[in-house]
Amino acid sequence: MANPSLQIGNDNWAIKEDNLLGYSTAGTRFVPQPITMTRATLGTRVNPSGLVEDVELLGSELVTNGDFASGTTDWTPNASATLSIDSDRLKINVSGAGSGYAHQTFTVENGKKYKCTGTIDFGTASQMRFYVSNPGQFFDITQSGNFDFTFTSTGTSTQVRLYTYGDGNYGFWDNISVKEATIDNLPRVDYTDGTSSLLVEPMRTNLIPESSDFTTWTTTGSAEVTPNTTISPDGTQNADTLNIFSGNFFYKPITSGAGTFTLSCYVKVASGTLDFKMQSFNGTDGADASSTFTANTNWQRFEFTTTVTTDSNFYPIQVSGLTGGDFLIWGAQLEAGSYPTSYIKTSGSTVTRNQETYTKTGISDKINSEEGVLFVEIAFSDAGRLAILNSDASDDQVVLGFSGTVFCRIRENGANVVTQFVSSANQLNTYYKIAVKYKSGSSAIWVDGNETVVAGTFTLNDLSKILFISEGSRTYGKVKQLQIFKTALSDSELATLTT
């Protein structure tokens, strides 16, 4: 079989700094081909160890003595605060005012993003807040445990303050860290199913403002929430325990508006199994929908999708305690859409993750406009186009997509000259190996070793780039590998490639 002129993935993912790398081969040499990725917000993935993590590049530590191993050195109290060390943590006592704080100042760069993390214990404090002077922003911390915030600097230095509230009260701080964070435009290679695939996702907003603080949710009867009791899917001790019994309820009311929404959360139980519901209530006409799930002792992400027609609706997770017991929960997400996307963490407000696109331009020497093969191993998440060979003017295209079934489309001078659906490949979120052989009068689409002949004649002039891109608000999925060939492969080669 001929060597691909460009390929990515196939368990050979490479990311150098913020570039996704494809590669071509010249004999035994691999030539890197940087691929542009666009997503101007933080994104998460499941890493090779199975943990949910932020995809980010962190700089050097800016905080001095953030673990307080040197006592209170480098931290200055205000007039209302007294600092001491208690069990290797900074203890801030407040007296004579509503709040007291410890602070230090360091150099930052204007316009850069920074990640702030740490661990707190409320002690007897009524409130605890993390503050940065540039841009003059408070971050409220709602429960004891780990916190994680990001800010964009508006100056060349900033002061951080560790606020503790309550006259005569105290709170504890530890592991304080501030690092420059590169979070925009970073590719995400995901291992949700245990193998690597490239995430290509739409813009989504998590409408639940505290995605992993369930002390803010509503309980009924004897149900109660204990925070930070166990290791969560992100590898830290920040999952909450809900103790609930039959007849008690636990929910988060969210006014969502009309549309289709998907609710998801990670759940497990301490022992045995526990049944629970994910449910919607329509606040206007009383209609509701629900699904019942069974949790076991392994973390699982459960998903519930429903459509509502009015503007006054609540979407709670409800645990009805059908068998009773300790229910462990983390990472709740409510998003507009018919399927769940990767976890978007929130801490006090809704958070939006922007859509992402992947583009490789300047590769006209690797694409033959007269004939060739576009091969992708892909799982589509929704209907629409996704993998595209494109001209600079977008007049000529070779397209792979999904609309009830997998389809290919060839466009010449802005007009569709070939559209072919493959009726057997009709499942979303299922990986298919798909190859489009494009050659005027002799085209075909191969899916998982089976050929569908494609009729049509055309003249493509200037195919010059590859895109993973949206069509409107649709068309996303996971990509395991992509290959481009400059010749129309034989039937036997295409059968081997897609099997």
The predicted-structure confidence for 62-114, as pLDDT tens digits, reads as follows 999 999 999 999 999 999 999 999 999 999 999 987 899 999 999 999 999 99
In CATH, what is the architecture of 60-182?
Sandwich (2.60)
Average pLDDT of the residues in 191-205? 92
Amino acid at 234: D
Instruction: Check pLDDT > 80 for residue 402.
Output: yes
pLDDT at 248: 74
The DSSP secondary-structure symbol of 3 reads: P
Q: What is the DSSP letter of 498?
A: H
Residues forming beta bridges with residue 52, ordered by sequence position: 46
Cα–Cα distance for residue pair 146/57, rounded to 1 Å: 20
- How do beta strands 357-360 and 29-38 pair? antiparallel
Q: Which two tokens stand for residue 344?
A: 């978007």
Query: CA quadruple 323, 327, 333, 339: dihedral positive or negative?
Result: negative
> What is the C-alpha to C-alpha distance for residues 47 and 311, in angstroms, rounded to an integer?
38
User: Per-residue pLDDT tens for 293-322?
Assistant: 999 999 999 999 988 776 555 666 676 555
pLDDT tens readout for residues 407-465: 999 999 989 999 999 999 999 999 999 999 999 999 999 999 999 998 889 999 889 99
Q: Which two tokens stand for residue 468?
A: 């993973």
DSSP characters for 208-253? -SBTT-GGGSEE-TT-EEEEEEEE-TTSSEEEEEEEE-TT--EE--
**CATH architecture under which domain 6-39+356-498 falls:** Sandwich (2.60)
Residue type, 212: S
The DSSP result for 312-361, as a single string, is -EE--EE---SS-EEEEEEEEEEEESSS--S----BSS-EEEPP-EEEE-
| Phi and psi, residue 493, nearest 5° | -65, -40
Q: If 0-12 CB within 10 Å is exposed, 13-18 middle and 19+ buried, where does residue 135 land?
A: exposed
What's the pTM value of the predicted model, to 2 decimals? 0.88
Q: Is residue 473 very low, low, confident or very high in pLDDT (cuts 50, 70, 90)?
A: very low
First-to-last C-alpha distance (Å) of the chain: 14
Provide the total of helices (H) and of strands (E) in the chain, helices listed first: 1, 43
At 327 the pLDDT is 86
Identify the pLDDT of residue 277: 82
Q: What does the CA dihedral 312, 316, 321, 325 come to, rounded to 10 degrees?
A: -160
Fold of 204-353: Jelly Rolls (2.60.120)
**Phi, psi (deg, nearest 5) at residue 365:** -75, -10
- Are the C-beta atoms of residues 176 and 72 closer than 8 Å to each other? no
Euclidean distance between CA atoms 196 and 11, whole angstroms: 6
**Range(s) of the chain covered by CATH 2.60.120.260:** 60-182, 204-353
Q: What is the DSSP letter of 4?
A: P
Pinpoint the residues of the chain covered by CATH 2.60.120.200.
6-39+356-498
Residue 494, pLDDT > 50, answer yes
